[in-house]
Every structure is written in structure tokens, then in C-alpha cells.
């Protein structure tokens, strides 16, 4: 075990038992960490790397609004020292999509998506916007985010993987956007990155049919950056992220911002943005 890595699960200690600083504890206080763990979400901080873990393997990491709330909380709580986030999941599946309780209700009279039908348009959209926050912060230019995907990534799980900058997938990974089979649409921010990655026609086909996209096809059409043997995924994903951390932080931020905006700029506007970014970098390197 490497010393100094800490699991942020409500304890104010590192894995080796040493006390952490107050700032670390305040970033993810004990009560929030405990609540997140009950919802099946864990956060681990290790210097510049944060690892977010979906941890409800018996439910194949199916999601509820509580899952989304805690994922959004993690995005708000990350300390400024974090440069990269690795998203992974426990068990045989990355995420099987929505928990059935979100669709048909569960114990304790939990509300379902159909309860939104009785809300006003503005209120219903505000509720969905709150859900979307769990999927938006991964695109921040100050972070590089990587999803390690094994087994099924369905619906909300597919969209969470799409929220990240890159996706490393196991050989048994399978993606599907199944919302249309429920009479719904993908509404958690997944349509934009899907179109950016595979194009309009392919994205429409994937969403309209709800079909499976296996690992080999995902790599071929640009959904996945790399296919990795199942047993090597966890280790290789962490090595991959740590290699990204070798890059200059500010240069990486500028580069991600350029890449993210390239699709909405014409060629000349993108060249102008490159020039401006490069001048900022040269001045920073010169200490000006």
C-alpha cells in the first residue's frame, strides 16, 4: 500500500492512520461522506488525483436522485489542488441506469419521475437541472476527467461516462441509451458529448434504437479512447490518469479549453484563440 493515500469516507485520518489537515476534512466533512456512502458514492483524494467510485455493486450501481445529489456535492467539494478525476465503479457493471424506484416508487413513498408531471413547467425543469449538475462539473477546464467503464453503462450511466473527457473501457463494456424505450429522452447532458464524439447520424441511431454498443465498436466510433482487458482496467486507468498529471497544469487547462470550444468556432476564430492562449503561456513561462 502506498503511504499517504486517503479514503475520504467520513474519517479524519489517512489510510496509514495519520491525522489529516483541517482543510482536507472541511472539503468533504464526515456527515456528507457518510451520507454519500449510503447512496453508493465514495470519494478518495490522493494529492492531485481524486477518485470517485460508484459503490452499489449489488444494484449494479443503478442511480437515484440521491446519487446525483451526492455526485454534484463532490464536484463542489473538490479542493483546488485536484487536477484530475478518475471515475470508476465497483462490481461487474459500471452503472445499470436508473434504479427501478425512480420509475415505480419504493419504500417510504419516495417520489418518482412521474411526480414531475404534476409540477409546473418551470419547477419541473428546475428539478431536472438540479439532477444535471451531477453530470456537468466533469467538463470544467481546470480538471481532466476519465471514466473507467466495465460491464453495462446504461442510460444515466452512459451519460455519466459521456460527461468525462475520456473513457477507458474493459473488453466486456457495453453502452446503451435506453431512455426511448421508456418513452423518455436522454436529459442528463449526454446528447451534446455523444454528438461531438460520434456525429449526428450515429448519435441519433444509438439513442433512437436503444441498442448496445460493445467495447470494440465504442473504440472504433470514438466513444472509447482505449479497450483494456477486464482484469487490468482499474490499474491501467489510474496509470493513465497519472500520466496525464505529468503535463504542465496551466498548459493543460488552456489546451482543454481550446479543444472544448473548437466545435463551435470556425477555423479562423480557433486560430485566434490558439494565438491568445499561446501568448498567455509564453508570458507565464517568462514570469510576466
20-29, 83-92, 106-115: least confident range: 20-29
Asked whether the predicted pLDDT for residue 9 surpasses 60, the reply is: no
Q: What is the mean pLDDT of residues 121-129?
A: 91
CA distance 164 to 81: 19
Residue 21 has pLDDT above 70, yes or no: no
Task: Return mean pLDDT, the chain.
Answer: 88
What is the mean pLDDT of the segment spanning 201-205? Answer: 98
**pLDDT over 70 at 260, yes or no:** yes
| Mean per-residue pLDDT, 43-55 | 95
| Set of cell numbers at residue 147 | 471514466
What average pLDDT does this structure show over 256-269?
Answer: 95
pLDDT of residue 138: 97
Checking if the pLDDT of 227 tops 90, the result is: yes
C-alpha closest to that of 41 among 29, 55, 28:
55
Domain locations along the chain: 6-246, 248-288
State yes or no: pLDDT of 103 exceeds 90: no
CA distance 85 to 160: 13
pLDDT above 70: residue 210: yes
pLDDT of residue 107: 53
- For residue 140, the model assigns a pLDDT of 94
- Give the mean model confidence (pLDDT) for residues 125-133: 93
Residue 161 near residue 194, CB atoms below 8 Å: no
pLDDT of residue 237: 97
pLDDT at 24: 43
Q: According to CATH, what is the number of the domain 6-246?
A: 3.90.226.10
Does the fold of domain 248-288 match that of domain 6-246?
A: no
Give the residue, 217 or 116, on which the prediction is more confident.
217
Contact 20, 6 (CB under 8 A): yes
- Asked if residues 86 and 97 have their Cβ atoms less than 8 Å apart, the reply is no
Q: Is the pLDDT of residue 90 over 90?
A: yes
Closest CA relative to residue 37, chosen from 8, 2, 5: 8
DSSP assignment, residue 183?
T
What integer is the mean pLDDT of 148-163? 98
Fold of 248-288: Lyase 2-enoyl-coa Hydratase; Chain  A, domain 2 (1.10.12)
DSSP-derived 3-state class of residue 43: strand
Per-residue model confidence (pLDDT) at position 109? 52
Percent of the chain scoring above 70 in pLDDT: 88
Residue 3 has pLDDT above 70, yes or no: no
- What is the reported pLDDT for 187? 95
pLDDT at 8 over 70: no
Segment 205-213 shows an average pLDDT of 97
176 Cβ contact list (under 8 Å, min separation 6): 152, 153, 154, 155, 158, 210, 211, 212, 213
Amino acid at each position: 500500500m502506498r503511504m499517504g493515500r486517503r479514503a475520504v469516507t467520513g474519517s479524519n485520518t489517512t489510510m496509514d492512520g495519520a491525522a489529516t489537515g483541517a482543510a482536507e476534512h472541511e472539503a468533504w466533512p464526515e456527515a456528507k461522506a457518510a451520507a454519500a456512502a449510503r447512496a453508493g458514492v465514495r470519494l478518495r483524494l490522493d494529492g492531485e488525483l481524486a477518485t470517485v467510485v460508484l459503490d452499489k455493486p449489488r444494484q449494479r450501481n443503478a442511480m437515484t436522485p440521491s446519487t446525483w445529489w451526492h455526485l454534484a456535492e463532490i464536484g463542489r467539494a473538490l479542493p483546488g489542488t485536484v487536477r484530475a478525476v478518475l471515475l470508476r465503479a465497483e462490481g461487474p457493471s459500471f452503472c445499470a441506469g436508473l434504479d427501478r424506484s425512480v420509475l415505480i416508487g419504493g419504500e417510504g413513498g419516495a417520489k418518482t419521475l412521474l411526480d414531475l408531471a404534476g409540477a409546473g413547467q418551470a419547477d419541473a425543469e428546475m428539478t431536472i437541472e438540479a439532477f444535471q449538475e451531477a453530470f456537468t462539473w466533469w467538463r470544467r477546464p481546470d480538471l481532466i476527467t476519465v471514466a473507467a467503464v466495465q460491464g453495462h453503462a446504461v442510460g444515466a450511466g452512459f451519460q455519466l461516462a459521456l460527461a468525462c473527457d475520456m473513457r477507458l473501457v474493459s473488453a466486456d463494456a457495453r453502452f446503451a441509451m435506453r431512455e426511448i424505450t421508456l418513452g423518455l429522452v436522454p436529459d442528463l447532458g449526454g446528447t451534446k458529448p455523444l454528438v461531438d464524439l460520434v456525429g449526428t447520424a450515429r448519435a441519433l441511431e444509438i439513442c433512437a434504437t436503444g441498442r448496445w454498443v460493445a467495447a470494440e465498436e465504442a473504440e472504433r466510433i470514438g466513444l472509447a479512447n482505449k479497450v483494456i482487458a477486464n482484469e487490468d482496467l482499474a490499474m491501467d486507468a489510474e496509470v493513465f490518469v497519472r500520466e496525464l498529471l505529468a503535463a504542465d497544469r496551466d498548459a493543460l487547462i488552456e489546451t482543454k479549453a481550446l479543444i472544448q470550444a473548437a466545435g463551435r468556432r470556425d477555423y479562423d476564430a480557433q486560430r485566434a484563440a490558439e494565438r491568445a492562449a499561446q501568448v498567455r503561456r509564453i508570458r507565464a513561462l517568462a514570469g510576466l
